[in-house]
Structure formats: structure tokens, C-alpha cells
Structure 1
Amino acid sequence: MTDTDPVLRALAHPLRLRMLSLLWPGPMSAAELARELDVSHALASQHLRRLDAAGLVELAEERTRRGGRERRYRTVRGTPLSDRRDGSPMLAETMAHALRERAGRRQEASEGVTVDAELWVDPRIWEDARRRLTELAVELHDAAQRPHAPGTIPLGVSVMAFPLQDPERPDPPSAG
């Protein structure tokens, strides 16, 4: 496991994925993350250090608070998940864990979208769908606000769409 990409290793824990989501709309300290995630300050700090070492979060500000220094971090902008090309089962398992946890917190009788499919489509259709899924993810991330901001609702969003290997055709057709 020592050969595993450090970014992938940092992403391979459900709590760290949640932290990245919480840090997206604005900076938070380890203490704020601990309260939001209902974990100890020490555990939140440990996971935050791991994300920082992998370059997934950055120090946004330092301020004096109660006689000490509070460091607040934010998610580094970019798409480390959608750009992965290694088909990592480790990341898929982490996302599955996050999905199970979020599904357990689904608001009763709420509307949502659930899709699970294995489809065969023209490569041009796939490229267009992939582009639109990416745009939708960016739109939701750009609209994200701090946890519990007035007038907001919490959402669970997990999307993983990718071409599958076809054992009968080793070279996939291009989207040309």
C-alpha cells in the first residue's frame, strides 16, 4: 500500500471526504469541523493534517482566538476525484461508505434522484453526458454555502460514471 498515490490515500477515508465538502464553501478550523462532524478535536486535526499534506486543503487564515492561534483551512479548488484515471477500488469503496452513511440521513419522504445503470451508448452521447455531469457538479459546488447557513438545505451528492471494459473489444472506440 506504500506505492499508493498520496492524494488517493488521503481521499480514501469517508471522514476526509466529508471534510473536503464542508471546507468547500469557506474556511473552517479543526474545532469547527470537529463540532460539525461530531468527532474529537484531535481526530479532526489529524485528518486535516492528512488532507493538508496531500495538497487537498490550504491554510486560508490564521487568527487569534481565546489567547491561542486558530488556523482555518479551505478546500483547494479543482477536481481531484473526477480527474482520476486509475479506476481505484479504494476510492469507490470510500464513496460507497459515504453514500451508505448519507442515505441513512436522507430526509424522510424527500424527492431525490437515484440511478444505477450499466448502459451501452454511442461514445459521443457519453462525452456529452460526462460534460454535463461535470458542469452540474461544478454548479452545485459553486452554490455551496457554509453548513447550516440560513435558507439552505443539506444535500448528499455522489456521482461516479465511467466507461466499462469490454472483454470482447480491447480498444474502445473514440468519441471522435
Structure 2
Amino acid sequence: MSLGDPPGRRQAALRAMAHPVRLQMLSLLTGASLTAADIARELGLTHANASYHLRNLLAGGLIVQDGEERIRGGIAKRYRYDSARDRVRERDAFDPSYGESQQALFAAVANELVRRTAEADWSVGDTMTDAELWVDPEVFRVIRDRIAQAIQELHDAARIPRSPGTIRTSTTIAMFRMGQP
């Protein structure tokens, strides 16, 4: 999804992301291209349900088809999430006209964070911040861009679920300018 997308496509993408199962799917599809059957097994869904959610993500332009493979006489499509593509947009030119959809997305992400914390391994440490701060606009831009770079590095390092030598992690970051109180 980018600013060049038509408004209807942007809205469809934000609506698609505002579903907790689809957020989980995007996470899985960051590390590898997977089929609906792969996702169904990993998330404990029916194949039909996984296919339905994949179609919504594809229609919203959030995932891309990444090949096909023959399985038991049929053809299974593989999908992946291209996180680099979503980082292309100019952050300062973000279109505020779909703020309502962004609010729905952030609410879905908050619910997803609640689900993930229930599965956390608190024995190895964590890092977290939640703050409403007043900072110089240039300082905010520089820090936001550094965090965006770290996010991209983390997405690039993602591997297939349960790959040997990997650990399951949760990363949730939301940075945005606040309106005047």
C-alpha cells in the first residue's frame, strides 16, 4: 500500500489489516512465502478460512503471489508480504483522509498485542515504552526514521515459522504526531 494507490485501495488495505487473523498472517508471510494450507496449519484455521483471509489481504494489495506449486494433483499458490514495498511512501506526506481506518487498525494491533503478551516468555527480558512526549519536529523525524530502519532490518531477518535456530518474537511500534489538545 502506498500513497500512489487509489483511495479505495488504501481503504481496502487498512480494513484488511484491521482483522487480528490477518495481522498474524502478515507476520507469518514476512519470513517466507506460504500457501493457504501452510497458514491454516500454523494458525489452527480451516483451509477455507485461511484462503478467505488471504484473498482479503491480496485484494487490499498487502501481499503478493509468490509462485505456485503442484500438491497432490492440484496447484497451491504461495503468498508473501513485502515489507520493503510498504516502507516506500513518504511518511511526512501521509494522507490524513483515512485516519478513521488507521484508528481501526491501531485498535486491532492493540488487541493483537494483548493476545501476544499472553504467550510471552518473560524470563529473557523485554523492552517497552509508552509515552506522549513533546519533542522538536526534526528530532522526531530523525528518531522515527532510525526506528523505521530497525523495523525493516527486523522484517528482513524474518524466517519461516519454527526454523531451526530462530526464536518467536513480538514487535509492536506505533509512532505518530499528535494533534493539539
Q: Report the residue type matching 2:171 in the other structure.
A: V
Indicate the SS of the match to 1:70: strand
Runs of 4+ in structure 1 off by over 6 angstroms are none
Of structures 1 and 2, the one with the larger relative CO (CA 8 A, separation 6+) is: 2
**In terms of Rg, which structure is larger?**
1
Q: Tell me, yes or no, if structure 1 residue 144 matches structure 2 residue 158.
A: yes
Which of 61, 64, 77 is equivalent to 1:55? 61
RMSD: 1.7
Give the corresponding residue for 2:75. Answer: 69
Give the corresponding residue for 1:27. Answer: 33
Distance 1:73 1:135 in 2: 24
Indicate the SS of the match to 1:119: coil
Q: Tell me, yes or no, if structure 1 residue 106 matches structure 2 residue 120.
A: yes
The CA deviation string for residues 37-75 of structure 1, in whole angstroms up to 9 with x for no partner, is: 111111111000101111111111111111211111111
Q: Tell me, yes or no, if structure 1 residue 153 matches structure 2 residue 160.
A: no
Distance 1:91 1:18 in 2: 13
Give the corresponding residue for 1:119. Answer: 133
Indicate the SS of the match to 1:63: strand
Indicate the SS of the match to 2:128: coil
The percent identity for this pair of structures is 40
Q: Report the residue type matching 2:35 in the other structure.
A: S
Distance 2:38 2:82 in 1: 18
Distance 1:64 1:166 in 2: 56
TM (norm. structure 2) is 0.85
Indicate the SS of the match to 1:56: coil
Which of 46, 50, 53 is equivalent to 1:44? 50
Q: Report the residue type matching 1:61 in the other structure.
A: G
